[in-house]
Amino acid sequence: MPTITQTLFERATDTLSDRLDLACPMNAPAGFRHLTVAAIGMAVLILGMMAIDTRMLGDEPVWLKPFKFAVSFALLFATLWAVTSRFTERWQRNVFVAMAVLASAAAFFFEMAYIGAQAARAEPSHFNESSAFHETMYSLMGLGASALMASIAAIGVAAWLDRGARLGDAARIGILAGFLGTVVLTLLVAGELAGNGGRYIGLPTEGGPRLPVLGWSMEVGDLRPAHFLSLHMMQAIPLLGLLADRNGLARSAVLAGVVLYAALTLVVFFQALQGLPVVSA
């Protein structure tokens, strides 16, 4: 039998759900589907640019950063599409969920346009303090990233509030915990990245050892591994919840996964702050 605490929590959840029950014409899964297709299209286009334009920016091809961002956006939007497609019709057309779609779209198109323009000029888009314009644009990208985090949190909460969604109990709590975990950990790591003025804790040698494909430094502290882990908690934990539902595991297994994943991210983060690489050469 449910405890008094569980009953009160469920009543509070239903009350909040009713208060947020504001409909709009936009269909959220369709919106995120369009954004997924747009991001994949950009990734393919940029991949073609990488084959044509072989200029370098520091130790990386000029088009590598836009390509990574396009792929990251595609994965983000595909995840949000998959989650919202499980919502009831009522929540698929909820005004707050629609606002998350619009905020995500605005951040996506702005960031990709600026990062792409900077790549075409062979100039860095991040940590560029060469002019007031570049500083302003970097600040606006930070605002866009905050809008994305707010959108992720909104979808995670909506998944929890939508009691009729085609989600098992473990998957629902996995989405809530995974999405909110991504927001909290990403703000922590990204805040350190912005305050540090770069990705490294220490000074790597030019052409020094790096992890293949990922490009993470193997000789000094690099904040990108922790950033990678924080961003992808929103895929890892919901997947764990889905597996728990399919295998009849309790929700406690998901909560244990949340603790372990967060701990791993924090260990990698604090290791980088000590100037130590995630993997030594």
CA–CA dist 6, 13 (Å, integer): 10
178 and 65 both lie in a single domain: no
Among residues 114, 140, 166, which one ends one of the domains?
166
187 and 119 both lie in a single domain: no
Q: Do the domain assignments include residue 204?
A: yes
CA–CA dist 246, 256 (Å, integer): 17
**Total number of domains in the chain:** 2
Q: Do the domain assignments include residue 156?
A: yes
Among residues 135, 166, 197, which one ends one of the domains?
166
Q: Do the domain assignments include residue 9?
A: no
161 and 218 both lie in a single domain: no
Structural domain that includes position 219: 169-281
210-264: pLDDT as tens digits: 888 788 999 999 999 999 999 999 999 999 999 999 999 888 999 999 999 999 9
Segment holding 64, helix H or strand E: helix 64-84
Residue 279 DSSP one-character state:
S
- H helices present in 85-221, as ranges: 89-92, 95-120, 132-161, 169-196
CA–CA dist 105, 109 (Å, integer): 6
Cβ-contact 78, 40 below 8 angstroms: no
pLDDT values of the chain reduced to their tens digit, one per residue, 281 residues: 455 554 544 555 555 555 566 668 899 999 999 999 999 999 999 999 999 999 999 878 999 999 999 999 999 999 999 999 999 999 999 999 999 999 999 999 999 999 999 999 999 999 888 899 999 999 999 999 999 999 999 999 999 999 999 999 999 999 999 999 999 999 999 999 988 888 999 988 887 888 887 889 999 999 999 999 999 999 999 999 999 999 998 889 999 999 999 999 999 999 999 999 998 87
64 and 127 both lie in a single domain: yes
151-164: pLDDT as tens digits: 999 999 999 999 99
Among residues 131, 146, 166, which one ends one of the domains?
166
189 and 278 both lie in a single domain: yes
Residues of the chain with pLDDT > 70, as a percent, come to 92
CB atoms within 10 A of CB 219: 18
108 and 176 both lie in a single domain: no
pLDDT of residue 2: 53
236 and 147 both lie in a single domain: no
145 and 185 both lie in a single domain: no
162 and 181 both lie in a single domain: no
Q: Do the domain assignments include residue 265?
A: yes
148 and 41 both lie in a single domain: yes
